[in-house]
Every structure is written in structure tokens, then in C-alpha cells.
Amino acid sequence: MERLSNLTAAKLKATIDVDILSEIPLFQQAQTIEITSHGSPNWARSYRIDTKNKEGVDETYFMKVSVGDQGREALKGELESTSQIHNVVGNFTPKPIGCDSFKALPNAHYYLCTFYDLAEELPEPTEFCAKVAALHANSKSPNGKFGFHVVTYNGDLPQENGYTDTWEEFFVNGFKHVLNLNIQRGGPWEEMERLKPDMLSKVIPRLLRPMETGGRSIRPSLVHGDLWCGNAAVDMRTNLPLIYDPSSFYAHNEYELGNWRPERNKFSRSYFTAYHSHIPKSAPEGDYDDRNALYSMRFNLQAAALFPKVTSFRESVITDMKRLIAKYPGGYEQYEKSLA
């Protein structure tokens, strides 16, 4: 996605006004419209839109604006992700309204949903984890495969969402993809290149294949895909938990919890315990912590690509790679022999 330059951001800030909004059908019947900036990451701008409809009722919306072809696709991915989540767990996520391109602003695109006043605090574990578990348990892949029907974005990183029959294949495809993004964004990474063959041929098969062999299987679950503390909050009106900014696909449900492992994301062990009170750990349970570390590595790789100047992300990935490679030098083959 094109990162908004200061010039482009300033132009958008000055240009997104009532006249521009009037081209959107939702606002054409509004008696009054007020638009204010509402926080803007590097790859988009966000706005709160307060309106009064023709009956005199106040209505408030959230709008995200991005630029370029990838900006359009990222907003489309957010709409599709949010729609799918909302279909399963309702008001656990904002109700999506739609996305489109501005006619008066070439190459600028918008996403709209209902607006929520959020308390900047992590939801308490019990109800939050019950809702996350319900999303995973009650969702169903439309074709029984792992993946998603559109590309979704983690920040401004496109994910590899192509459908596969096995979770191992899907994870390997995504893992290779995010490694490549790291090189594109952060430059050469010799130590990772040296460790990559053993990660792909030994560690990943050893930790993921046992869940899909020996009579076991994984049911693809819809995941939020980027569920860290910055994408979860409490609705101040209802005091209920809310998740947003998803980058979804159908995955092994435990993948979601990989983003809870890093301390920076503020999910304590109580969240894991609360979650697994609804959905037990997958078998073989003895691999659980190392699977979680592997999934966490994927999120740390995404963070390293998003913020290439923060060296600690790459360092944490290398530390985990070395530990897992040392622990599983024989890969899946050695695991198979241990069962004989």
C-alpha cells in the first residue's frame, strides 16, 4: 500500500469535507454533517462523521481513507473481514457499511462503519475470550479450506491468503511470504536466510503436521488475524468488548493466540486460560507452547516488516528460530519414528 506522504496526508485532511462526503449515498439525505479527524496511522487516515438525518436523529460513523490500488484493496479486505466476523458474532465488531472510491478524489478510497466511543483499555478476559472462542467455533469455511476469498492486510502488508487443503501448506505459504516482505522492507537478513531451510523443512512440519495426521484434523476457523491490544477495546456505551481492524482468513484457531504471546501486546496468561476454558488445546497438547511460539514468530515477522528500524523484532525472531531448530533437529520424521 502506498504510505501517505505528508503532502498527501495534508491534502486529504484539507479535502475530505462536507462537499466530498455528499457524493456518498449514505450522507445525501443528511440535514447536517460534521467531520473531524480521528487518529491516522501511516497507511490511512481516519475520521469521525456526525450527522443528523432527515428525521432529526443523530447518527455517527467511522470512516477510513486510503490511497492507491493497494489502499483500495486493503479497505476491501477490511470490509470483507469485518462483515464475516459480524455475521458470526454480531456486535463484537463494528457493523460494516461499505467501501468505495471517491469520484471527486482520484485514487482515494473509503471504508465506512458505525462509530463507537471506546475506552482505551483491554477488555477483561472472561467475556472477551468467550466471544473470541465463539468466533472460532461458530465460523465455517465456505469451501472447507484454509485461506480467504480476498487479500487482507496487516497494516500495509498484504497477506498470502490463497486457499489450501491443509493448515501446514497455508502456514508455509504465508511464512515464506512474510519473510520475503521483510527483505523488501528491511533489507538483507543473512542470519534468517541461514536458518530458513531448517524452519521450513524441520520445525514447521514437526509442529503442524501432527495435528493433521494420525487420524487428527483441523477445522478451519475464521480468525481476526491481527488481534493485539491495539485492536481490542471496550465500548463505553455498553461496557462490552469490541474488536476491529481485522485481517482475516480461515486458520487453525490457535493461530489467533500467537499475537497474544509477546508481552508488548498485553494479553496475560489469564486470557489464554479463559480462551481454553471454551476451546481446548489441540492435540498433541505437548506441542502447544512451541506451536504458540511459531505462530507468534509469524506476527513478529509482520512487525519487523512494518517497522524495519525496530531491530528488536528481528532479534526476537532469530532467538525463537534458533531455539526451535535446536529442539527439533529431526523434524517430523523423528516424530514419526517415536510413534512406531
C-alpha cell at 293: 511460539
The DSSP call for residue 62 is: E
Q: Could you tell me if 69 and 88 are in contact, meaning their C-beta atoms sit under 8 angstroms apart?
A: no
Residue type (1 letter), 180: N
- Return the ∠ at Cα 199 (arms to 258 and 221), rounded to 5°: 35
Q: What are phi and psi of 237, to 5 degrees?
A: -75, -40
Catalytic residue, from 226, 245, 287, 320: name it. Answer: 226
> Of all helices (H) and strands (E), which one includes residue 64?
strand 58-67
In this structure, how many other beta carbons lie within 10 angstroms of the beta carbon of residue 37? 12
Residue whose entry in the numeric block shows the C-alpha cell 479497505: 75
Whether residue 284 has a cis bond before it, omega within 30° of 0: yes
Burial track 255-289 (b if 16+ CB lie within 10 A, e otherwise): bbbbbbbbeebebeeebbebbeeebebbeeeebbe
Distance, C-alpha 63 to centroid of its chain: 19
Q: Is 226 a catalytic residue?
A: yes
Q: Could you tell me if 274 and 126 are in contact, meaning their C-beta atoms sit under 8 angstroms apart?
A: yes
Which residues are 154's β-sheet partners? 157
**Could you tell me the strand order of the sheet in which 32-37 lies?**
32-37, 45-52, 58-67, 108-114, 96-101
Distance, C-alpha 231 to centroid of its chain: 9
Q: Could you tell me if 234 and 117 are in contact, meaning their C-beta atoms sit under 8 angstroms apart?
A: no
C-alpha to C-alpha distance for 261 and 297, rounded to whole angstroms = 9
> Of all helices (H) and strands (E), which one includes residue 45?
strand 45-52
Q: Could you tell me if 139 and 250 are in contact, meaning their C-beta atoms sit under 8 angstroms apart?
A: yes
Q: Which residues are catalytic?
A: 226
